[in-house]
Amino acid sequence: MKPIQLVSLVAFILYDIYILLYFKAIFTSKRTHWLSYVAAIAMHIGISSLSFLFLDHRIDIYIMMSTMMLVFCLLFQGHWVEILYAGSIYVFSLYSSRGIVMSIYSLVLHAEIKNVLQNDIYYYSIFLLAVLLSIMVSIFLRKAIIPDDKSKNLFKNRGQLKFVVIYLNFQLLFLLLVNEGRYHDFQQAWYSMLYLGACIISKISLLFVFNHTLKVTELLEYELHTNRLQEQLSRQIRHYQSYGRFTESYRTFRHDYNNMMTSVKTLLRNREYEKAIRMLDNIHDTMQRNVLTHKTYSDHMILDAILQDTANICEEKGIRFSAVAHLPENIMTELDIVRVFTNIMDNAIDACNKLSGPDRFIEIISDANEDWINIEISNSFNGELKKDNDMPVTMKEDKDFHSLGLRIVTEVIENLGGLVFIEPDMAKKIFRTKLCIPKASP
């Protein structure tokens, strides 16, 4: 193997390593041992090299994409859209960078692209520079346009990710068609400029696509959170109204209570014990009948408001509801409480709505020790569950909003240093969500 070929092979391996490290920072890994990554890179390099030697370059491009998608499936957990994105971004980045370097070589050497590629030194040096350019552009994207934390938000929104994947594949097809021009009798300088412009515009357009999709994703997240806050405000208003009715009924009873107790004292002084007993019984009956019962489900005002509203909804729908949720102050912010428990309660009510009969229920229990607060939410469901990366997902049509529920819960709790356990019992048709929240911040 010539030195330039060896250097190109090393560059190819480094590019694979960089891409896999990028995926590892974004996606959940199936395998963590370094040998798994070595084997995956060896497989990808081997298959890509064989396809390069024996197949047409137009087929070789899609072999490389398919192999990278296979590597992604073996090493990471992902939806099919994420798998397709992994293969598309890998090939598009490398192919467009190669087109830029190749066109510049052609312009500088005043030679046709097909003649430039026939020189082994030029061919492999073009590949080497293309790898370096791809890595540099990727680093720029991660620093300035789409940092890893924002990338994770983008990958949660499958609709926007599909848009990116469609763009990448159309641009790759476009560049393949432009590349075919090197086999035709076009004026050399004009064609090289055209190819260079097409590759540069494709990369710049990708920046705008990423920027646009990130903004749309952030707006959708903002709208979702705003809707949740509006729902919580409505819950709190209903909670305060309920408490106000309780206070008013108690005030009325207390006003009458003073008069009744005066009568009881008078009867007792006159030794009319039977009448006094009957009057005390009347006072008790009046209190039970006229004073509204105000149940308390939690020692935290915001959480209690959410649970009070859930109890009212369950009463209307005939769902059995019981809750004892202890949550000390300063463990979670009010917004985090809203995001976590509103999503869980909404999911539980939706699950119960799919059933009929008296066995529907929602139950919340909690306990605590020196270090942890444990809250377990159980609800009945129909035993049907669709999963994506071991995470239950919605079956509703509006997945951009509804599929984020448990993901938001998991994200909030894990950011607090806690754990979320989702344990559906398919046989008993009971869905359990366990929240383990540390008392000390991570």
Task: Give the pLDDT confidence of 30-44 residue by residue, as tens digits.
Answer: 887 888 889 988 998
Same domain, 98 and 207: yes
Q: Please, which residues have CB within 8 angstroms of residue 273's CB and are 6 or more apart in sequence?
A: 267
Q: Is the pLDDT of residue 269 over 80?
A: yes
Same domain, 301 and 222: no
The DSSP bridge partners found for residue 376 are 365, 434
Q: Is residue 252 one of the residues assigned to a domain?
A: no
What residue numbers bound the domain in which 28 lies?
Answer: 3-227
Q: How much is the pLDDT for 413?
A: 92
Domain end call among 185, 201, 227: 227
Same domain, 73 and 207: yes
- pTM assigned to the model: 0.65
Please report, for the domain that includes residue 342, its CATH number. Answer: 3.30.565.10
Same domain, 196 and 336: no
Q: Is residue 168 one of the residues assigned to a domain?
A: yes
Q: Is residue 332 one of the residues assigned to a domain?
A: yes
Average pLDDT, the chain: 83
Answer whether 421's CB lies under 8 Å from 433's CB. Answer: yes
33-36 contact pairs (CB < 8 A, 24+): 36/74, 36/75
Answer whether 280's CB lies under 8 Å from 264's CB. Answer: yes
Q: Strand, coil or helix: what is 157?
A: coil
Q: How much is the pLDDT for 246?
A: 62
Q: How much is the pLDDT for 378?
A: 94
Same domain, 198 and 328: no
Q: How much is the pLDDT for 400?
A: 45
Task: Match 């239950």 to its residue by tokens.
Answer: 392
- CA distances to 26, 141, 143 from 146, in Å: 12, 6, 7
Domain end call among 186, 207, 227: 227
Q: CA 226 to CA 378: how far, in whole Å?
A: 27
Q: Is residue 359 one of the residues assigned to a domain?
A: yes
Cite the beta strand spans of 277-383 per DSSP E: 320-323, 361-368, 372-380
Tell me how crowded residue 250 is: count the other CB atoms within 10 A of its CB: 16
Same domain, 325 and 205: no
Name the helix (H) or strand (E) containing 422.
strand 419-425
Task: Match 């890893």 to its residue by tokens.
Answer: 148
Q: Strand, coil or helix: what is 435?
A: strand
Q: How much is the pLDDT for 240?
A: 65
Q: Is residue 122 one of the residues assigned to a domain?
A: yes
Same domain, 8 and 119: yes
φ, ψ for residue 394, nearest 5 deg: -75, 155
- Encoded tokens for 274: 């039977």
Q: What is the band of 17 on the pLDDT scale with cuts at 50, 70, 90?
A: very high
Q: Is residue 255 one of the residues assigned to a domain?
A: no
Q: How much is the pLDDT for 398?
A: 46
Same domain, 117 and 196: yes
Same domain, 102 and 221: yes
Task: Give the pLDDT confidence of 272-292 residue by residue, as tens digits.
Answer: 888 888 878 777 776 666 554
Domain end call among 227, 245, 280: 227
In this prediction, residues 328-356 reach a mean pLDDT of 87
Same domain, 212 and 338: no
Q: CA 288 to CA 291: how far, in whole Å?
A: 6
Q: Please, which residues have CB within 8 angstroms of residue 301's CB and are 6 or more apart in sequence?
A: none
Same domain, 181 and 315: no
Amino acid 63 reads I
Q: Is residue 76 one of the residues assigned to a domain?
A: yes
Higher pLDDT, 150 or 398: 150
In this prediction, residues 172-182 reach a mean pLDDT of 86
Same domain, 193 and 320: no
Q: How much is the pLDDT for 288?
A: 62
In this prediction, residues 156-169 reach a mean pLDDT of 88
Task: Give the pLDDT confidence of 77-112 residue by residue, as tens digits.
Answer: 888 899 999 999 999 999 999 999 999 998 998 888
- Total of domains in the chain: 2
According to DSSP, the β-strands at 419-425 and 361-368 are unpaired
In this prediction, residues 252-269 reach a mean pLDDT of 75
Q: Is residue 350 one of the residues assigned to a domain?
A: yes
